[in-house]
């Protein structure tokens, strides 16, 4: 600041009649001040550190170069960025022009393709009673389809644990599998024909550590502890459960660091009561039309949304950070777009999105439809094209949001330094056209590249 004042005084002397003489006499001094000022400015700047490509610790390095990076947290896309992976971890994320890499790095040029966290299917039911070669093929197909994680909302937990152990050991290729222990009232176990496949497998549905009948005789603390020991990540509250049971199971699960995932209606318990119990997520948009009559019968309204009631519930979900697993495509696929279920579910999802409810993308499938197509893609497309969600929010609903719901956001769900290198690169940009979510260029799982060539 002193230099500036001196220069002003030199250029603007008090007596303008002596300006020329003043400048001539002070010119050497002026030049000296300018030089000192420039020198001071240079020394005030921190020197740029050079990249030393030989200073990296040993490891397997891969550079995903020249990408558009959607990190899963922000809606902003980072253009001309690179992601450096060391072994199975993201080592650095920086602009192409400045990222420092080791001399022996493997370079994959992405030519401006969109890179995002790996996709997570938030509502799966993986089939467990098929030949092992079929199961292995399906697990591998999920990876090549960009799906690096799946939350199974019911199924045979011991089988899923065996698969996970083989995946973690590198014996087979597959996504991270997060399993649910299944809790329901006696009424469900009396009538549901889907339990036969478990009996055929040698299990006793309702009396397994990972599948329990909830009644007055159940030791809930013991049942929750055994559910965790079975390998479950969370407990699924399915049907015929009273408010007292919902609260007790949820409270006990939190003590054991287990998540609680509930149907949005439980026949004996209203949606708002489920939310008040502070579960971690609720499933199925259409169930927001279910209520209990004065005669204690379930009424399923598929014609008109009770807006005031639903807004109260959504406000509580936003306040408590409870996630909404909407399964919207399910109603279009199996009931048709003109059905009451599809129309009501769409209205519910639109309201949830407008009110800022945290949404996760899940298909309520084994990961595939019967014809073999990836079901998660259809859910994501429906959320954009039918429910009006932005492509950015839908991609977040299949990456960062489910990672937070599962409690694994410290390692997964975003493109950040220190996170696991579970990534997907799209051949065309789904943020421009959500249909491009089907076009996978490559998947990286634990730092290993999988690509259909």
pLDDT of residue 54: 83
Asked if residue 37 belongs to a domain, the reply is: no
Q: Report the DSSP beta bridge partners of residue 329.
A: none
CA atoms of 93 and 80, how far apart (whole Å): 11
Tokens representing 2 are: 């002193």
CA atoms of 285 and 361, how far apart (whole Å): 12
92-119 per-residue burial string, b: 16 or more CB within 10 A, e: under 16: bbbeeeebebbeebeebebeebbbbbbb
Q: Report the DSSP beta bridge partners of residue 434.
A: none
Provide the domain count of the chain. Answer: 2
The answer to whether residues 279 and 309 belong to one domain is yes
The answer to whether residues 206 and 331 belong to one domain is yes
Asked if residue 394 belongs to a domain, the reply is: yes
The answer to whether residues 418 and 428 belong to one domain is yes
Asked if residue 49 belongs to a domain, the reply is: no
**What are the two backbone dihedrals, phi and then psi, of residue 176, each rounded to the nearest 5 degrees?**
-65, 135
Q: Give the other-Cβ count within 10 Å of 159's Cβ.
A: 19
The answer to whether residues 252 and 196 belong to one domain is yes
Q: What is the pTM of this model?
A: 0.89
User: CATH no. for residue 435?
Assistant: 2.30.40.10
The answer to whether residues 244 and 351 belong to one domain is yes
Q: At what angle do helices 340-354 and 307-320 cross, to 10 degrees?
A: 50
CA atoms of 113 and 67, how far apart (whole Å): 5
CA atoms of 453 and 390, how far apart (whole Å): 31
pLDDT of residue 161: 97
Using DSSP's 3-state secondary structure scheme, residue 216 falls into: coil
The answer to whether residues 195 and 91 belong to one domain is no
pLDDT of residue 35: 45
pLDDT of residue 370: 84
Q: Report the DSSP beta bridge partners of residue 61.
A: 86
The answer to whether residues 233 and 342 belong to one domain is yes
The answer to whether residues 86 and 225 belong to one domain is no
DSSP letter (8 states) at residue 368: B
Asked if residue 163 belongs to a domain, the reply is: yes
Distances (CA, A) of 262 to 16, 153, 326: 85, 9, 12
Contact 412, 150 (CB under 8 A): no
Tokens representing 197 are: 């496949």
Q: Please give the helix or strand (H or E) that residue 147 lies within, else none.
A: strand 147-152
The answer to whether residues 125 and 251 belong to one domain is yes
Contact 372, 365 (CB under 8 A): no
Tokens representing 355 are: 């009110």
The answer to whether residues 354 and 233 belong to one domain is yes
Domain encompassing residue 95: 55-118+414-453
User: CATH no. for residue 394?
Assistant: 3.20.20.140
pLDDT of residue 192: 84
Distances (CA, A) of 92 to 46, 62, 419: 22, 11, 10
The answer to whether residues 172 and 307 belong to one domain is yes
Residues with pLDDT less than 50, the chain: 1-48
The answer to whether residues 162 and 311 belong to one domain is yes
Asked if residue 221 belongs to a domain, the reply is: yes
């Amino acid at each position: 600041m002193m230099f500036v004042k001196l220069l002003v005084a030199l250029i603007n002397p008090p007596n303008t009649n002596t300006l020329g003489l003043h400048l001539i006499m002070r010119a050497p001094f002026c030049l000296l001040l300018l030089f000192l000022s420039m020198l001071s400015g240079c020394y005030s700047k921190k020197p740029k550190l050079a990249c030393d490509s030989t200073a990296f610790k040993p490891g397997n390095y891969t550079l995903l170069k020249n990408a558009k990076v959607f990190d899963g947290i922000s809606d902003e896309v980072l253009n001309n960025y690179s992601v450096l992976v060391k072994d199975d971890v993201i080592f650095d994320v920086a602009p192409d022009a400045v990222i420092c890499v080791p001399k022996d790095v493997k370079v994959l040029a992405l030519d401006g393709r969109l890179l995002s966290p790996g996709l997570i299917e938030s509502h799966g039911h993986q089939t467990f009673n098929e030949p092992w070669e079929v199961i292995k093929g399906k697990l591998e197909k999920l990876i090549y389809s960009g799906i690096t994680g799946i939350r199974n909302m019911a199924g045979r937990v011991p089988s899923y644990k065996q698969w996970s152990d083989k995946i973690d050991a590198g014996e087979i290729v597959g996504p991270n599998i997060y399993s649910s222990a299944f809790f329901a009232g006696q009424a469900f176990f009396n009538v549901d024909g889907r339990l036969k496949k478990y009996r055929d497998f040698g299990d006793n549905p309702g009396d397994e550590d990972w599948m329990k009948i909830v009644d007055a005789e159940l030791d809930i603390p013991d049942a929750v502890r055994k559910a965790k020991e079975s390998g479950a990540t969370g407990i699924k509250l399915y049907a015929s459960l009273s408010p007292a049971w919902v609260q007790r199971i949820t409270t006990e699960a939190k003590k054991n660091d287990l998540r609680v995932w509930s149907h949005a209606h439980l026949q004996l318990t209203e949606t708002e009561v489920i939310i008040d119990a502070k579960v971690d997520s609720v499933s199925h948009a259409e169930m927001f039309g279910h209520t209990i009559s004065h005669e204690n019968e379930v009424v399923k309204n598929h014609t008109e949304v009770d807006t005031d009631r639903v807004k109260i519930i959504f406000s509580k979900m936003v306040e408590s950070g409870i996630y909404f697993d909407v399964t919207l495509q399910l109603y279009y696929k199996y009931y048709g777009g003109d059905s009451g279920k599809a129309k009501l579910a769409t209205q519910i999802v639109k309201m949830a999105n407008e009110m800022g409810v945290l949404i996760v993308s899940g298909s309520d499938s084994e990961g595939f439809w019967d014809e073999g197509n990836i079901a998660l893609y259809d859910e994501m497309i429906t959320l954009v094209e039918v429910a009006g969600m932005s492509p950015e929010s839908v991609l977040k609903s299949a990456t960062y949001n489910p990672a937070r719901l599962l409690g694994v956001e410290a390692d997964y769900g975003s493109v950040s330094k220190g996170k696991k290198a579970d990534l997907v690169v799209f051949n065309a940009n789904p943020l421009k056209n959500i249909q491009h979510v089907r076009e996978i260029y490559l998947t990286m799982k634990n730092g290993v590249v999988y690509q259909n060539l």
